[in-house]
Amino acid sequence: MAREVVIVPGNGGGNIFSDGMWYGWLRKKLLEYDSELTVKLEDMPDPVVGRESIWIPFMRDKLKVGENSIIVGHSTGAVAAVRFCEQYKVHGIVLVGAYTTDCGMENEKLSGYFDRPWQWSKAKQNTEWISQFGSRDDQYLSWDEQVEVSVGLETDFHRFEDRGHFIEPYFPELVTLLKGQLMKN
């Protein structure tokens, strides 16, 4: 039974509570919905590059992501969520702006996430459900890579035409999805 949500932001180095993104807003909305729910949100170590060798142990050891956790990962956080689930069990994952290659960006090359093939079947086996949000007009990610993630993981894919990289201060569709998943438990 999922009783916690762990929000894993994208890389970039901004303060996750004050950068105008939906992370803090989502935390607040989930706690308003269920005050007994644990919602974890912290600045990630190595926030600019987002190295797998640092983020995965931080998720496991500091954030204590486990079998009762729902990971909400955005951008690099989505990539980290998939790689985490290749090794560890979680209750569910929500991928926002997920992708499969370094997109030709130096920081992404240095992250280590893209140095080996994706283990879609292991990730699927280690979670009860996977949802995904993607937008055709994402300014950083190709639509084909977002679809590749959906096909590889057989996600419940919420497709948009006009949301870019999901960097708005509000994300009501995500709240609706999470409330629906939490009510199932």
In this predicted model, what pLDDT tens digit does every residue of 28-54 receive, in sequence order?
999 999 999 999 999 899 998 999 999
Q: Which of 135, 138, 150, 158 is catalytic?
A: 138
The total of structural domains in the chain comes to 1
Instruction: With respect to residue 139, please indicate whether it lies within any of the assigned structural domains.
Output: yes
User: Is 74 assigned a catalytic role?
Assistant: no
Q: Which of 69, 75, 131, 135 is catalytic?
A: 75
Instruction: With respect to residue 4, please indicate whether it lies within any of the assigned structural domains.
Output: no
Instruction: With respect to residue 154, please indicate whether it lies within any of the assigned structural domains.
Output: yes
Instruction: With respect to residue 73, please indicate whether it lies within any of the assigned structural domains.
Output: no
Give pLDDT tens digits for 109-161: 999 999 999 999 999 999 999 999 999 999 999 999 999 999 999 999 999 99
Pick from 24, 66, 29: which is nearest to 43 by CA?
24
Q: Which domain holds residue 154?
A: 25-67+82-183
The SS3 assignment for 135 reads strand
Beta-carbon contacts of 161 under 8 Å, excluding residues fewer than 6 positions away, are 135, 136, 137
User: Is 91 assigned a catalytic role?
Assistant: no
Task: List C-alpha distances in Å: 50 to 47, 65, 143, 167.
Answer: 5, 17, 22, 18
Instruction: With respect to residue 11, please indicate whether it lies within any of the assigned structural domains.
Output: no
Instruction: With respect to residue 160, please indicate whether it lies within any of the assigned structural domains.
Output: yes
CB contact at 8 A, 2 and 185: yes
Instruction: With respect to residue 6, please indicate whether it lies within any of the assigned structural domains.
Output: no
Q: Which of 19, 46, 142, 165 is catalytic?
A: 165
Share of the chain above pLDDT 90, in %: 88
CATH of the domain at 38: 3.40.50.1820
Instruction: With respect to residue 177, please indicate whether it lies within any of the assigned structural domains.
Output: yes
Whether this model's pTM surpasses 0.85: yes
